[in-house]
Structure 1
């Protein structure tokens, strides 16, 4: 059964437009609270939930609304303030709470916001609980008695707890002394955390994107806008740069020359080092967008590789199904299940740094064996109700492209889940052929789209 509000990453939208309104979010808090406070989830104990947020100005309003709904449902609330999404997952698990809630729209601009839930074990909420919450959204907020209301408490040591957790994932016998690192926090939730983790592990740290004003999150800084990081690494003659996104679960890195490395390349560095040390459990999970060169590299290393649907939720599902530990997306969501229950930008960066220190190599040397294939992505706007994927002309165009690529590339057509768009992606060894094939398929789709 499909969900009305919950997407692959919670509920997200533009602030002020339904459902990201204070009225709906209070109702959401109440519905979630009623589900979480039921005997099935509390085992007779009082239900308690952690709320964290990124640095968006709308977070204050939504936090208050969410808090009111939860308290009305009889749930106690711990307020952590601005902390990364993975910090909420960690604290929910270690504090033995029923759930954790993040108010964030991740890498989106400040005009957007969203609500994301974690279960008691620090992973995404199961589908059945999301369905149960949605079922309660149509009811009214009802308070039988003031004696049944929840309470709110500020969790003052949330940041310190999370900093210590991140440091604990790095080998205790190793340090970062002698390394100069530029870290870009996107004016987001890691602005008061990432630089301290790196500094306390011994690195010389230059921090940028650490002055949030409520409106500048992801604006020209962070994992989705790395140009400032690239320039800063070269300017300061740093060994490398680390860029996180607004809620701290996405990572890209930059080498000493300012060259950018995406999620595929960073997962490759981690996977190769783990395999050499005999620590790679099973294989690696990527997504439909993972570069074909990465898949070929895993084959050459003798490492099993699987593709999930796009979204870290689906990567996680495949990891759990196979009992594996490492996976992620080329966008920079990297999951190391032996370190954390969810994707974590800081922890993933420390995993890369661990590999570099162990092998005594630079980032460019560690990732140098993986040469990503050219990838062209074209967005085609499609009128509502038009089925381009099933049309014979589109299928024929794809078949022509696949014959031309002759096993040295691939074609992927994927509709957007949030906009009336069809993504046409072609990648392969021959850049000119890839560009030509993508354009030809997109032209056919465009003719049919309207």
Structure 2
């Protein structure tokens, strides 16, 4: 008998999409300021590329710790509320509280240590929520909807980044830092209502003290000991295609972050823009990229195939960056820079949709949070590693070489993509699943 009138996420396609759009929007809310708005504000106030990169590394570091919490989420949960939903709610609460803490850091520009600690904590809860959300997505989104869902999810995140970048920067300039960050906390608080009222599966509890029970599906998927979890994770992640995918994720996501951190420094210090100029232009480019991803990003992947479209996206990224590098005389042309930012954001979104759809398809559901998070952890190690290169590269080389580094890494990822066999990975996962079922059956016979 149903304990509520709303369909669950596993039952209703619209609610699935709505839920993950909302959760990815919540992830993008703090990122708009942490990774874009604040670096531009710091550059506008005379902070060095090394100090700005240091803040970016502090904010990026927690995303590389995701793998520490992912196995815990696979191993432990409160099943009557769902496999991952309790963790999602906890992550949302943490985001709200940490944003409030960050808002009250005194004189952040001259108190960089505490400022970086606050950025680290906000990012930690953003990463925490991301792990739970991705695990939930792998559990409840059917394979034939994963590309479309990733388009909507990643597009929603980019829309949130652009919205909070523009709004947060405006509030920062018109009012103050505290007002800007408290506004973000309020937005996340409103979004929290979505996971609070949408169950993973029917008849689960809304909150611990309400009526409900754990679903049979979740009980079957839930691992009950660390040995089984770690063995399963090792089996699937040691596959050849898993390792290639992890390396592609490291290089691509690191490259995107490298250019994301570099662009506010480039436009403010080299081109003479203000932080407001940069935030408005980049927010618009990000918004267009996000909406494009939501509308056609997943459709293109479904229609023409993941690898084919990824090849096109990588080509566009390399070609556009080389054009920027080799015609420096056009840097004074604002329209030219606008065009590059727009193309970069669209290709970034589309390529990320493709990468995440591939990663979801390559996952084994019983260790979904751990495996997908391991891909994303490696990707975020790339974000830290390449962002850390900005200071030394810019200090020793010209802007042309500094920008060329981005094109070089994308070209390297493009080459590796040719060795990735998605169908073979899926077949390997099916073999692992069949072997696991047979092992359990044999153990049952032995006990009998």
Q: TM-score if structure 1 supplies the norm length?
A: 0.26
User: Which one has the bigger helix percentage?
Assistant: 2
Q: With CA pairs under 8 Å and 6+ residues apart, which has the higher RCO, 1 or 2?
A: 2
User: Which one has the bigger strand percentage?
Assistant: 1
